[in-house]
Copies of this chain bind each other. A is one copy, B any other.
């Protein structure tokens, strides 16, 4: 195995595609050098293989240092200078460069090669002894801190003392003589701390710096960063050793960063900053005020022209906007880095669309679609806080994306009334329940201190596309005010929440509005063209209004209409409770009859909004006690003040329907079995609505879905109810015009394991991946997401939260098995997914691979899903289906 490649090595494949091996920085340096022939200070890259070998064995792999020595020799020969040379020394930088950018996370050593002799050579060569000594001082402290692991404060204290003794506070105030003394002092610090003198041999310096970079891969900061960004821990980093150039040599020198287009807006034309007589760190540090790149045109017109030409070549070569770093040393331009530039959402879609044009880069539409990320879309679809946002005072779970700013109110009624007065309102509650819906609707956003990503607040807010932060434990809500990490927030005080990150900020933070973007519409249209006939995107919607929103956002049907939300409405709940409390069959049937009338109107509204598109209606799913008050509340009231007869009956019913593990209890189709007539009632209401629609000239397309199935006999039994109700309700003359299919959720592991049998009684499968994940892992989302998931992700016991992105090995395996075995038994069986994973791009990739026909997600995720599905299909090999 070869561990070291010069930048100008002639690779068989384009180096920019070798990021696995060379890291991102090394790959692009090699690309610029060996392919584009751009002026890059020469150097070489030590591969990630070497790092992995080091991480694995804990020592430099065999042969690595020999290769490094040879590469160092080649570098010296090409530069006609030598490391440590007493007259005209070569200096190098040693930088990490992983496959994925990890800015600031790992270590860099500059000015390597300086020692007691070569510092004099540098002084002679630059005719600037102060510059040479200052470089040496920087090198010793940097090397001491990073490679030798000496507390950096010791060097800083010594330098501060030197500055004080020189009577100034700036680095520049320290004269050469004192710098020389300081170098000696620094070397003493090193000897004291390590018991050995500061290494003078350049090769020893080099070896130490390389090992320090390897080691920094496993540092705490870097690990935490990778956890956050989802970068695997076993990649390792490459190391780039490169000849130093100095932008701080003189006035003919300088340094800058440049983008080939504006990364904020996407406008064509270069964009960047320049700083004369300075090093790269100075630009980044922001201490000195930079000039725009245009300033270069006046001062160094030839260099400016050369830079623009390079930018143009980079764009054409990379076929994308590039981000670069460059340095001018004594009038000569050097390119130090390039990479595909990061961009805002609006810039991303503008560039992607424009670059498809003949007058631009002529990328394909598929390529344009591939370049838009989920974050880009969210920036366009939801208001965002400006970049200069203040620090968060607390953080909860980002439950529904977007920025929301408003005056705090602590009850639904207060929030509603304030909004009616024209105030911007934020509803802050310990948690929400159906009684809070009016206040939630009136509010700009919702903040709760309890509950997880499937709490009432989270689910409702996501359904409306309204920003929400939930489960923010630091928010303690009292009557009329809240305390947040020591800050008292009174009624009417401004607060800002970020529903993407979960951040909570004091005051009225500035936001940018959601953008109406023609380019976005175009991107989504192209995405739809890629998806067409392969994977459709539906929405989960429970009301006509949700359905209309979803259709506007591009939904091609409803994948999940939850009928329980119809049961929870204020005017329905008493009827539902009457059904549960019914003393005999007749009372129960009477209540069911009332519910039927009410549900029918709901269904008409939904079917109208989704005319000609499929609407999947799930029959009642949740356990009945969700429609009853809590036993504890009533029991406490009973002890304190007694109960009315009605309340007593409710308490009895709540006790009788109480379940130890309601998620695994009497719900879904089991409810249909223990409450005869319930499912028939729902189907009748739905069919009557469909007949209304047909008679009004509509074209309803209905899929009836049985939830929580575990066996074929159970599904066949439920199917008989549904077919019976169909026969009873739909007159023969209408049957041909009414498209109804009957299928099942696959949400228990057993349903997936016996999918081949289930398919015999199902016209379609819809994977309920939320429950399937809960049961496959044995994770009650309400319980583990708060207490368990955090430590599990931190300790790496799970790679990611399986409720965010589908678990490929466990849940995903069940999905693949069920699709395969279901279709083996019924070829062409329609399969979709209606869990929240249906809106997650990474999960959508798996669903594409599994051959699903559609995904369904909340209305406001539909654009993300349309894009992600197209991207997944575009990257996948065409399937035979």
Contact = CB atoms under 8 A, between A and B. Distances in A.
Contact of A783 (B639, B662, B754, B796): B662
Interface string A654-693: 0000011111111000100110000000000000000000
A660 B749 contact: no
A778 interface: yes
Interface stretch (A16-24, A353-361, A380-388, A806-814): A806-814
Interface string A630-669: 0110011111100000000000000000011111111000
A797 interface: yes
Contact of A777 (B632, B673, B750, B782): B750
A780 B661 contact: yes
Interface stretch (A284-292, A509-517, A710-718, A855-863): A710-718
Interface stretch (A67-75, A585-593, A785-793): A785-793
Interface stretch (A240-248, A343-351, A768-776): A768-776
Interface string A233-271: 000000000000000000000000000000000000000
A10 interface: no
B662 A798 contact: no
Given A662-B661, A664-B774, A810 B673 contact: no
A871 interface: no
Contacts of A807: 750
A696 interface: no
A391 interface: no
Chain A interface residue count: which class?
35 or more
A711 B778 contact: no
B639 A796 contact: no
Which applies to chain A's interface (DSSP): helix, strand, loop or mixed?
A: helix
Between A710, A754, A796, the greatest number of chain B beta carbons within 10 A of the residue's beta carbon is seen for: A710
A797 B632 contact: no
Contacts of A771: 778
Contacts of A783: 659-662, 664-666
A748 interface: yes
A239 to B, nearest CB: 29
B639 A674 contact: no
Given A663-B661, A663-B664, A775-B778, A788 B674 contact: yes
Interface in A719-778: 747-750, 753-754, 757, 771, 774-778
Contacts of A795: 673, 713, 717
B660 A780 contact: yes
A179 interface: no
Nearest to A787: B666
Nearest to A814: B753
A792 B710 CA distance: 11
B714 A797 contact: yes
Nearest to A714: B797
A779 interface: yes
Contacts of A537: none
A673 B748 contact: no
Given A661-B662, A664-B784, A810 B754 contact: yes
Contacts of A665: 780, 783-784, 788
Nearest to A773: B750
A713 B796 contact: yes
Contact of A714 (B660, B710, B753, B792): B792
A701 interface: no
A345 B661 CA distance: 41
Given A663-B661, A664-B663, A780-B661, A670 B788 contact: yes
A711 B779 CA distance: 13
Contact of A798 (B632, B636, B711, B798): B711
A809 B753 contact: yes
A718 to B, nearest CB: 9
A708 interface: yes
A749 B774 contact: no
Given A748-B778, A754-B810, A787-B674, A798 B661 contact: no
A618 to B, nearest CB: 15
A663 B784 CA distance: 11
B710 A778 contact: yes
B661 A813 contact: no
Contacts of A782: 659-661
A740 B836 CA distance: 44
A89 B880 CA distance: 73
Contacts of A778: 663-664, 708, 710, 747-750, 771, 775
A788 B665 CA distance: 8
B784 A670 contact: yes
A662 B312 CA distance: 61
Contacts of A664: 661, 663-664, 774-775, 778-780, 783-784
A794 to B, nearest CB: 10
A750 B814 CA distance: 9
A799 to B, nearest CB: 8
A776 B797 contact: no
Nearest to A716: B797
Contact of A635 (B632, B673, B811): B632
Question: What 9 A-B pairs come out closest when comparing CB atoms?
Answer: A661-B780, A664-B780, A665-B783, A750-B810, A639-B640, A749-B749, A748-B778, A714-B797, A639-B639
26 contacts: A632-B635, A636-B638, A637-B639, A639-B640, A659-B780, A659-B783, A660-B662, A660-B783, A661-B661, A664-B775, A665-B780, A665-B788, A666-B784, A666-B788, A670-B784, A670-B788, A670-B792, A673-B792, A674-B788, A710-B777, A710-B778, A710-B798, A717-B797, A750-B809, A753-B776, A753-B813
